[in-house]
Amino acid sequence: MKSIHLIAPSGACLDSRSPANGIDWLKRQGFSISNEACAQRIHQRFAGTDIERLSELNQLSQLSPDSLAMATRGGYGLQRLLPGIKWDAITKAIQNGAQVCGHSDFTVFHLALLAKTGAISLAGPMLNFDFGCLDEQGGLIEPSPFMWQHFQNAIEDRKLDIATQHPQNFLGESLQGLTSGILWGGNLTVLAGLVGTPYFPSDKQISGGILFLEDVNEHPYRIERMLMQLLDSGILSSQAAIMLGGFSAYRLYENDRGYNLNAAIEMIRQRLPKAIPMITGLPFGHQADKITLPVGARAQLSYQSSGFALTASW
């Protein structure tokens, strides 16, 4: 695959140098880039008006089989477009070979596409942060080799294969195991906001699944509150496994008095059925080192107290 079609369905780019640097880097890797102008659109806090962004998403139905659509960045804005998206037409393009990639606010697209058609999309890197990230002086930070390798494996070979050594402290009743299921999830805040809507996958689709979650700028008590919502609504207890990625860029306060992310996870662990493992250390989220995950594909997970392995082909 040597063709990337950019889309900007959510927030406007915060610095024009970032998308420009990302586009330049990708071109130097041999990719042709189309729709570069979307990175310059601005309407209020969004990357264009609702009409512009919706039209751009619906044009994904015209993607060639060797193209990958990549979001510029997240933020907010995709959820307000959901009723007008032509899911069946976009799915036909995906079935013909096209691919669609993003994360953060793009979780809305992943889950709605899965709910409406069952098609597979990629939770993975986006243009600005992953390919055009800037240092404090405005210079380009080279993309993570780890991210790049896993991204290539996904878009070229349609494979996920990650094994990591990371101590597991929330496995439940079994310190090792092997399971499989539909891989689904994304940004926790975005996912929780879709519960109860027509754009959230059905119980039949996700029961026995492998749910992955990440978030940014959310205090652990907010993480706990959203996980509690998913628990009390029966979503967590219907999963074969729950995988937690990066929860970054939050600040603890003096009045937390020792309460932290581990304490939040432990509270959920106590209420979750002990047969369902909670895996930590998934390299995914708002971080440089991230894997690319096929939302809607069947994956295999093996785990033990010292780490885990996650694989999929689609």
Label each residue of 210-269 as H, E or C: EEEEEEECCCHHHHHHHHHHHHHCCCHHHCCEEEEEEEECCCCCHHHCCCCHHHHHHHHH
Distance, in Å, from the CA atom of 130 to the CA atom of 142, rounded to the nearest integer, reads 9
What's the N-to-C CA distance of the chain in angstroms?
16
Distance, in Å, from the CA atom of 103 to the CA atom of 285, rounded to the nearest integer, reads 8
Label each residue of 286-299 as H, E or C: CCCCCCCEEECCEE
- The verdict on whether 104 is a catalytic residue reads yes
Residue 119 · residue 95 · CB < 8 Å: yes
β-pair type (176-187, 298-304): antiparallel
Amino acid at site 7: I
**Which of 10, 104, 121, 144 is an active site residue?**
104
Residue 121 · residue 295 · CB < 8 Å: yes
Helix (H) / strand (E) containing 64: none
**Which of 103, 110, 219, 286 is an active site residue?**
286
Distance, in Å, from the CA atom of 312 to the CA atom of 314, rounded to the nearest integer, reads 7
Residue 183 · residue 298 · CB < 8 Å: yes
Sign of CA dihedral 202, 205, 208, 213: negative
**Which of 67, 144, 214, 218 is an active site residue?**
214
- The verdict on whether 166 is a catalytic residue reads no
List residues with catalytic annotation. Answer: 104, 214, 286
